[in-house]
């Protein structure tokens, strides 16, 4: 996508926001071609700002996180966010053309963080990375350890083998029934047998691989009770809400300029981090879904870092955040990371899903506050307290809508869902 006139107007508007500035970076390491990598800094400047790296790859930083930065600045925090190369403001070279594939690698993204710190006149910073951003944060620790004052790894990505832990968590909850949903749901009464119902649906011919994404979404947002209600609807042949959620998930993956642009950078996820993995032929395999949406010409080659070998050398305060309902980067991955980093603090939010930054902003800001004043080690005992803080408004609205829609669908005459599901939207 070249820089069109319409995109240029949006680009210039975002680039003119307070605190946004470019830093010149090589398109490829050692090359002569340059481009503008943008970053934004808000709040009262300090010696050790917090660099916040969102997930993805594909999420922009400048436009989607304006409210977060406003709240962080109001809390007195000095925050830097970098627009990932190949995304949003940092998408194009000086000629207005998309950055080439060879420009998009994890190591170059990591070095961009160090270059931004240089441009901002910052020697050391606190690094907060969420999901894919946690891998970039850890990469800063590997390549630029002298720039790290402290670190938060939120819903961490550890290695190319994470897909196996993801399979185990999903199947443990939805197929084998071995995952302790009660403890992650905060419920006092007996948890429903989700696996029994999913296996029954499979026996009735339901395609499970695509359904795993929808089930994971409902579970992460609303826990076992909400997912159980949805499975009951499916067992009664009521599929309207399920189909609607599936469509909403597909829409969420579409490109949204300056907010979500993964077309250039998804190669990182698949070529370097093995997000797709290899299907194992068993039910509820996230690999099947990931392979449906990624470029088949991009295959996994090699991880940029061996974090298993590198993390024991991390010598700064580190907290690892884990949502008890996270089926994307499950708690088992967070535990692996904690076991590797000396003195790391595990902070579990029992009813949270994936990415505290994106679903529990109030909790993320509390963690950043502890990071800035050197109190990360106190967070382990505050997990339940942080878990009780309000969820983000959009998440709360989604839970309300799904709950209400499930209640409405359960009252419809049996024929209505079947009739409506046959209607094709033009």
Q: What is the pLDDT of residues 119-154, one digit of tens each?
A: 999 999 999 999 999 999 999 999 999 999 999 999
Q: For residue 414, name the pLDDT band (cuts at 50, 70, 90).
A: low
* Residue whose C-alpha is closest to residue 329's, from 293, 358, 304, 305: 358
Q: What is the pLDDT of residues 241-271, one digit of tens each?
A: 999 998 888 887 788 999 999 999 999 999 9
- Give me the residues paired with residue 152 across strands: 128, 319
Helix residue ranges, H only, 186-320: 194-203, 209-235, 240-252, 266-267, 286-293, 307-310
In this predicted structure, the answer to whether residue 423 has a pLDDT above a threshold of 50 is: no
Percent composition of the chain: helix, strand, coil (DSSP 3-state, to 5):
50, 10, 40
* Residue whose C-alpha is closest to residue 60's, from 30, 78, 93, 37: 37
Alpha-carbon distance of 7 to 186, in angstroms, equals 46
Residue 228 · residue 194 · CB < 8 Å:
yes
In this predicted structure, the answer to whether residue 422 has a pLDDT above a threshold of 70 is: no
* Residue whose C-alpha is closest to residue 65's, from 317, 56, 123, 171: 56
- Compute CA distances 287 → 209, 226, 323, 328, whole Å: 9, 25, 22, 12
Q: Is 119 or 419 the better-scoring residue by pLDDT?
A: 119
In this predicted structure, the answer to whether residue 426 has a pLDDT above a threshold of 60 is: no
- DSSP per-residue codes, 64-116: TTHHHHHHHHHTT--EEEE--TTSGGGSB-TTSPBPPGGG--HHHHHHHHHHH
Residue 187 · residue 223 · CB < 8 Å:
yes
Alpha-carbon distance of 258 to 247, in angstroms, equals 22
Identify the pLDDT of residue 418: 52
Which CATH fold would you assign to the domain 5-159+304-390? Rossmann fold (3.40.50)
Alpha-carbon distance of 127 to 148, in angstroms, equals 7
Identify the pLDDT of residue 149: 98
Which has the minimum average pLDDT: 199-213, 307-321, 357-371, 391-405? 199-213
Percentage of the chain exceeding pLDDT 70: 93
In this predicted structure, the answer to whether residue 296 has a pLDDT above a threshold of 80 is: no
- Compute CA distances 25 → 38, 42, 54, 193, 407, whole Å: 10, 22, 20, 53, 53
- Compute CA distances 162 → 4, 109, 128, 271, whole Å: 39, 21, 20, 14
To the nearest whole number, what is the mean pLDDT of the chain?
Answer: 91
- DSSP per-residue codes, 253-276: TS-BTTTB--TTTHHIIIIIS-SS
- Give me the residues paired with residue 24 across strands: 36
Identify the pLDDT of residue 188: 36
Pick from 107-111, 199-203, 249-253 the range whose average pLDDT is largest: 107-111
Identify the pLDDT of residue 249: 83
| 180, 181, 182, 186: CA torsion to nearest 10 | 130
Identify the pLDDT of residue 187: 42
Which has the minimum average pLDDT: 63-72, 102-111, 196-205, 414-423? 414-423
In sequence order, what are the residues at sequence separation of 6 or more whose Cβ sits closer than 8 angstroms to the Cβ of residue 244? 405
Q: What is the pLDDT of residues 331-344, one digit of tens each?
A: 999 999 999 999 99
* Residue whose C-alpha is closest to residue 160's, from 302, 58, 65: 302
Residue 314 · residue 343 · CB < 8 Å:
no
Residue 49 · residue 80 · CB < 8 Å:
yes
Identify the pLDDT of residue 413: 78
Token pair, residue 185, equals 């749901």
Average pLDDT over residues 149-161: 98
Q: How many CB atoms lie within 10 A of CB 266?
A: 20
- Give me the residues paired with residue 356 across strands: none
> Which part of the chain has CATH 3.40.50.1820?
5-159+304-390
Average pLDDT over residues 69-80: 98
Q: What are phi and psi of 290, to 5 degrees?
A: -65, -35
Rounded to the nearest 10 degrees, the angle between the axes of helix 132-143 and helix 106-119 is 70
Q: For residue 287, name the pLDDT band (cuts at 50, 70, 90).
A: confident
Rounded to the nearest 10 degrees, the angle between the axes of helix 194-203 and helix 162-174 is 90
Average pLDDT over residues 89-95: 96
């Amino acid at each position: 996508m070249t820089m069109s006139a319409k995109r240029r107007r949006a680009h210039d508007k975002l680039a003119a926001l307070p605190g946004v500035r470019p830093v010149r970076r090589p398109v490829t390491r050692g090359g002569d071609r340059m481009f503008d990598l943008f970053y934004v800094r808000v709040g009262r400047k300090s010696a050790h700002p917090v660099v916040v790296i969102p997930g993805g790859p594909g999420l922009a930083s400048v436009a989607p996180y304006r409210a977060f930065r406003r709240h962080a600045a109001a809390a007195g925090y000095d925050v830097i966010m970098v627009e990932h190369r190949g995304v949003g403001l940092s998408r194009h070279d000086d000629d207005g053309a998309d950055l080439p594939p060879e420009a998009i690698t994890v190591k170059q993204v990591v070095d961009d963080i160090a270059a931004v710190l240089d441009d901002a006149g910052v020697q050391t910073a606190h690094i907060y990375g969420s999901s894919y951003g946690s891998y970039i944060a850890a990469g800063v620790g590997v390549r630029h350890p002298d720039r790290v004052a402290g670190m938060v790894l939120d819903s961490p990505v550890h290695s190319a083998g994470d897909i196996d832990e993801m399979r185990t968590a999903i199947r443990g909850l939805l197929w084998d029934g071995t995952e302790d949903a009660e403890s992650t749901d905060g419920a006092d009464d007996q948890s429903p047998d989700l696996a029994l119902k999913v296996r029954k649906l499979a026996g009735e011919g339901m395609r499970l691989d695509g359904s795993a994404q929808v089930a994971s979404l409902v579970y992460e947002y609303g826990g076992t009770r909400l997912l159980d209600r949805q499975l009951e609807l499916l067992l009664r042949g009521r599929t309207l809400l399920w189909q609607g959620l599936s469509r909403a998930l597909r829409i969420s993956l579409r490109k949204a300029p300056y907010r979500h642009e993964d077309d250039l950078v998804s190669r990182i996820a698949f070529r370097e981090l093995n997000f797709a993995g290899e299907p194992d032929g068993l039910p509820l395999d996230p690999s099947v879904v990931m392979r449906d949406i990624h470029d088949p010409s991009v295959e996994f080659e090699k991880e940029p870092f061996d974090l298993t070998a590198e993390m024991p050398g991390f010598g700064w305060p580190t907290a690892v955040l884990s949502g008890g309902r996270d089926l994307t980067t499950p708690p088992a991955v967070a535990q692996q990371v904690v076991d590797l980093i000396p003195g790391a603090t595990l902070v579990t939010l029992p009813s949270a899903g994936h990415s505290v930054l994106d679903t529990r902003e109030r909790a993320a800001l509390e963690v950043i506050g502890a990071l800035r004043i050197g109190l990360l080690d106190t967070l382990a005992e505050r997990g339940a307290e942080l878990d009780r803080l309000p969820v983000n408004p959009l998440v709360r609205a989604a839970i309300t809508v799904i709950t209400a829609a499930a209640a409405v669908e359960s009252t419809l005459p049996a024929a209505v869902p079947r009739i409506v599901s046959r209607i094709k939207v033009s």
